[in-house]
A and B are shown apart, each in its own frame.
Chain A
Amino acid sequence: MNPFIQYVGFGIVTAAILAIAAVGFTLQYAVTNVLNLAYGAIMTIGALAAYTVNQAGASIWLALVAGGASSAVVSVALSRGVFEPFKRRGLHMFGMVIVTIALGLFISNALLIVAGSNPFSYNAQAGGTYHFLGMIFTGQQLAVIGIALVAMVAVRVILQWTKLGRAMRATAADENLARACGINTQLVKDAAWLLSGALCGIAGVVLGLSVSGWTVSTSDGLLITVVAAAIVGGIGQPYGAILGALLLGIATSLVGGFFNPSYTDITAFTILVLFLVFRPTGLLSGVVRRRDVVV
């Protein structure tokens, strides 16, 4: 067995999880213009909701749906209840980012108190092992990759071929112009929060599936890499985020496998710094859009 190919296989699994989360993150930012650093906390909410459903006896697939749905609902609620009011109030300078961080800290520490720091794991059939192009996957890993593929195709279909997707892209490009063209941007933003929230929740569940035990702070740990994938992919570009996730997932897995598992974070860091230095607009940068500070 070729270890290189096997590490690529592990990398693809990591990339699948990263891609779901990073696409949601970058889509949220592009359409709603809110850099949501409470994303990790919302991911944990989805994972916990799925855990509750799963413990109640439902299958992992139903739990996945429950996780996605609860994160989607929470995202919209936070947008309507916190982010939008703060925006309307005209927060100064760096205000919105601080609002999301404050909210994220609040939620994740509340979850820590409610759910405790013990590890959870889902009740799911382990499945056999499968060989594919020299790579070995467990059934769960294949499921993770499958879920990611379905999610990516769904996002592609929604963004590219539906009226809602076109409205989202228009809103992302220029909100005022979109509104002038008769698009109900408020509705589109709500839809974007729903869609990205669902991706966020699904990523949380899938992350929990891929590790032997997860805690309420596991998702916060992944947020680093998710954000890095989003930056590497390009500002607010969903397809870029997929590429960024693949690059980071495979690179960290290779480095971790061949050298030392503790180098994975450093690899992500190095890639991020290289991108910041040489290609700050990311892999896919058709148009350079400098977003100003939310005023």
Chain B
Amino acid sequence: MGSGWGFYITLLLVYLGVDIIACLGLNIQLGLAGVMDFAFIIFQAIGAYVYAIFTLGPPNAGLGQGAGGQSYLWGTSLPFPLPYIMAMVAGAALAFFCAVVVLPRLRGDYEAMAFLVISLIATGIVTNQVGLFNGANGLYGIPQPFSGALNLPTLQYDWFYVGLTAVICLLVWLVTRRITTSPMGRLLRAVRENEQAARALGKDANRARVFAFLVGGALGGLSGGVLVAFITAWAPASWGYAETFVFITAIVVGGFGNDLGVLVGVLLVPVLFGELVRFLPSFGQASWVEAAQLMAYGLLTLLFLWFRPRGLIAERRRRYPAPADSLAPAVASSAAARIRARLGPAGRSR
């Protein structure tokens, strides 16, 4: 196996990790809270940019401009975990801003539309405001964590970074599980299914949604940081609005609202399926590969929404037994009897 394959596999594994982090984040917003966030990629984008400016150093060092003649707003150089944390904070902050503007006002279709517009116009701003993040050329030569201290050959460093990504993924997985199985996760599902009912029970539906959005944004930002530290370059072309759609396809295929389903979806869609299209017999121009990929994602989504709308691993339907004193006769009383039997005499409240 040549080293070319080694580079390809490490790249694919890092992409897998990044997509897992991003999709778990998006799933909290989309699957759990039911917020139609079609702007998710901008959280990954700002995470990547913020990681970049927190490692590249001040833009005026050297030849009147930043490293390699790039121009950007501001920069510094911080040690290892801090740029990742700043990427998370930036993702969360942007998400909070978007959430506060959009969530209390728009619901359903118009919410989706507003996010789509935000995503498209964010690309426009970053592309045209060259002073912000070097415009369409983007930032490049972004330092990698520990690369100086370890001083490994490139391929070995890549494997080291795969390990680092895996550790971050594991942490994200634990945090996500913690949220989805917590009372907050239950509240978010309740808000998704029936907002009025949740509100009638005195729950602050809007605050719950903003919380979900914030967590999702933070994870999006983190995924951007993890990605950009590996590929060391980031430009508007990397985060077109269609990229959000790749994540959505993964969630639709895997099973939305379900962490395990998201893992399966990420494994199948961007990694396995996306790369399969790359290996199709090459035809025509190089740009057609991307077009064919996006066509395939579109088709895959349509097919899944038609044949298996709940995804490969459907979200478990949660059933809660009726309270013991419920008036609904047969079902409730049998459920109550089961609970009493399980609790035993000591567990009886009255």
In the bound complex, do residue A262 and residue B109 qualify as a contact, i.e. CB atoms below 8 Å apart?
no
Nearest chain-A residue to B130 (Cβ)? Answer: A262
Counting CB contacts under 8 A, is B34 at the interface?
A: yes
Partner pick for B291 among A109, A272, A276, CB 8 A cutoff: A109
Q: How far is the CB of A203 from chain B (nearest CB, A)?
A: 18
Question: Known contacts being A224-B117, A227-B116, A231-B114, is A294 close to B295, with CB within 8 Å?
Answer: no
Counting CB contacts under 8 A, is B222 at the interface?
A: no
- Interface size of A by Cβ–Cβ distance < 8 Å? 48
Q: How far is the CB of B249 from chain A (nearest CB, A)?
A: 8
Interface residues of B in 121-161 (CB under 8 A from A): 121, 124-125, 128-129
In the bound complex, do residue B292 and residue A113 qualify as a contact, i.e. CB atoms below 8 Å apart?
yes
In the bound complex, do residue A262 and residue B305 qualify as a contact, i.e. CB atoms below 8 Å apart?
no
- Which residues from B are CB-within-8-Å of A106? 294-295, 298-299, 302
Counting CB contacts under 8 A, is A163 at the interface?
A: no
In the bound complex, do residue B295 and residue A109 qualify as a contact, i.e. CB atoms below 8 Å apart?
yes
In the bound complex, do residue B301 and residue A272 qualify as a contact, i.e. CB atoms below 8 Å apart?
no
1/0 contact string of A101-121 vs chain B (CB within 8 Å)? 111111001101100110000
In the bound complex, do residue B107 and residue A276 qualify as a contact, i.e. CB atoms below 8 Å apart?
no
- Which residues from B are CB-within-8-Å of A103? 298, 302
Instruction: Pick the most buried of B30, B288, B299, B302: most chain A CB atoms within 10 A of its CB.
Output: B302
In the bound complex, do residue B102 and residue A276 qualify as a contact, i.e. CB atoms below 8 Å apart?
yes
Give the size category of B's interface with A. Answer: 35 or more
Nearest chain-B residue to A110 (Cβ)? Answer: B295
Question: Known contacts being A262-B129, A268-B121, A269-B121, is A276 close to B101, with CB within 8 Å?
Answer: yes
- Which residues from B are CB-within-8-Å of A89? 306, 309
In the bound complex, do residue B107 and residue A92 qualify as a contact, i.e. CB atoms below 8 Å apart?
no
Question: Known contacts being A86-B305, A98-B248, A98-B305, is A265 close to B110, with CB within 8 Å?
Answer: no
Counting CB contacts under 8 A, is B166 at the interface?
A: no
- Which residues from A are CB-within-8-Å of B306? 86, 89
- Which residues from A are CB-within-8-Å of B233? none
Question: Known contacts being A37-B116, A103-B302, A105-B297, is A92 close to B310, with CB within 8 Å?
Answer: yes
Question: Known contacts being A113-B291, A272-B117, is A105 close to B108, with CB within 8 Å?
Answer: no
> Which one of A12-20, A129-137, A170-178, A285-293 is at the B interface?
A285-293
Instruction: Pick the most buried of B112, B118, B252, B288: most chain A CB atoms within 10 A of its CB.
Output: B112
Q: Bound state CA distance, A136 and B305, in angstroms? A: 51
In the bound complex, do residue A101 and residue B117 qualify as a contact, i.e. CB atoms below 8 Å apart?
no
11 interchain pairs, CB-CB under 8 A: A95-B305, A99-B305, A101-B245, A101-B298, A103-B298, A103-B302, A109-B292, A227-B117, A266-B128, A269-B121, A291-B108
7 residue pairs, one from A and one from B, having the closest CB atoms: A262-B128, A265-B124, A106-B298, A35-B109, A109-B291, A280-B105, A105-B298
Residues of B within 8 A of A (CB): 30, 34, 36, 38, 101-102, 105-110, 112-114, 116-118, 120-121, 124-125, 128-129, 192, 242, 245, 248-249, 252, 284-285, 287-288, 291-292, 294-295, 297-299, 301-302, 305-306, 309-310
